[in-house]
Amino acid sequence: MPLLLLLASFTHGSEEVRFEHVPEGGVQPQVATTRDGTLHLVYLIGNPGGGDVRYVTKKSGGAGWSAPRTLNSTPATAVAMGTIRGAQMAVGKDDTLHVVWNGPGGKNQPAPLLYTRSLDHGGTFEKQRDLRADTQGLDGGASIAASAKGEVYIVWHGAPADAAPGEINRRVFVLKSTDNGGTFLKPRIANGDDPGVCACCSLKTFVSPTGELITLYRAARSMAQRDITLMTSTDGGVTFQHRNVGPWAINACPMSSASVIGAGAKTRAAWEAEGKVYTSLLDESSTALAVSEDKARHPALAVNARGETLITWSVGTGWQKGGQLGWLVLDSSGQATGRRGIKPGVPVWGFTAAYAEGDRFVILY
């Protein structure tokens, strides 16, 4: 029996990690926690080409999720197909909830970039807004980040309205609000000096514990080189710096996603490269650690009360194909432990999410 499966057989029954199905058989879960410990979960249901964003909550220490509600004010306007275009969520000033997702395009109609927010801790959500502006070619999923000061950043990739076709002409756009999502400035091109974005890959943005705006995206500077790139801004999204953190020589779009989380005063990321999941703290002194078996993708992160990190990912999933989930615990110093496992059950168009309950972890799939 392979070593990984032996480890799994000893750890599946551990109380350290608990497994939980997404409500309603939903896919592409994203979870966030507000200051009072309430968990907020979004996921997709319905037609993969045009379904709905659903939302539930769980109080700190609660036994179950609330009754589901639909966040998209126009029905069937969320895309699950491809596994990288679903909803992402951020908690901002006064525990405002911000949600963004890709909508379906139509004949002579570009795909919209849709956003909603809740100013009352998830009690109600505003009517969805299309914030795509005059950019074109929305494809890989957008991301959202927010700060306690009322800054909201929506980040996506596409092409300027007058750009020629081709991945080398794709850009990363950053849309900023300074009033907690009430209004947004014009989109700013963040990689004008470093063009090229892998079209069908999602990206991930995050406001770090030190206030930096951090974005991970897969570059496409040439057809055969698609490196995970770290883009940072220390001046609130005015200027940006870039460096590669996950090289991958591949002449194809892997339809990948990434994850970022605060780890004390630092920031940890996880991404896919060469068919494995890698993780690293996002500082120049840290090196990336491969944590998964082969055919691993779509990582998610959680940090518990002991400062340990759970990394979970999908195994063997693909276009219209479900698979397994894998997981590994890093100790508080970031070193891999022997606590890991693998489990079947990731649905078609699905991936995992994770959260902490004190010292324990929960994996949603």
Q: Which of 154, 144, 159, 191 is nearest to 174 (CA)?
A: 154
Note the pLDDT tens digit of each residue in 166-185.
Answer: 999 999 999 999 999 999 99
Euclidean distance between CA atoms 145 and 180, whole angstroms: 11
Q: Which two tokens stand for residue 64?
A: 């179950």
pLDDT for the residue 108? 80
Residue 101 phi, psi dihedral angles, 5° rounding: -160, 160
Given a cut of 80, whether residue 11 has pLDDT beyond it is: no
Tokens 């009360």 sit on residue? 305
Given a cut of 50, whether residue 2 has pLDDT beyond it is: no
Kindly indicate the confidence band of residue 162, based on its pLDDT and cuts at 50, 70 and 90. confident
66-70, Cβ contacts within 8 angstroms, sequence gap of 24 or more? 68/23, 68/24
Note the pLDDT tens digit of each residue in 66-115.
Answer: 999 999 999 999 999 999 999 999 999 999 999 999 999 887 889 999 99
pLDDT for the residue 61? 83
> 279 with 330: CB under 8 angstroms?
yes
Euclidean distance between CA atoms 316 and 245, whole angstroms: 24
Alpha helices in the chain (DSSP H): 3-11
Given a cut of 90, whether residue 234 has pLDDT beyond it is: yes
Note the pLDDT tens digit of each residue in 276-335.
Answer: 999 999 998 899 999 999 999 999 999 999 999 999 999 999 999 999 999 999 999 999
pLDDT for the residue 360? 96
Q: Which of 313, 2, 34 is nearest to 146 (CA)?
A: 34
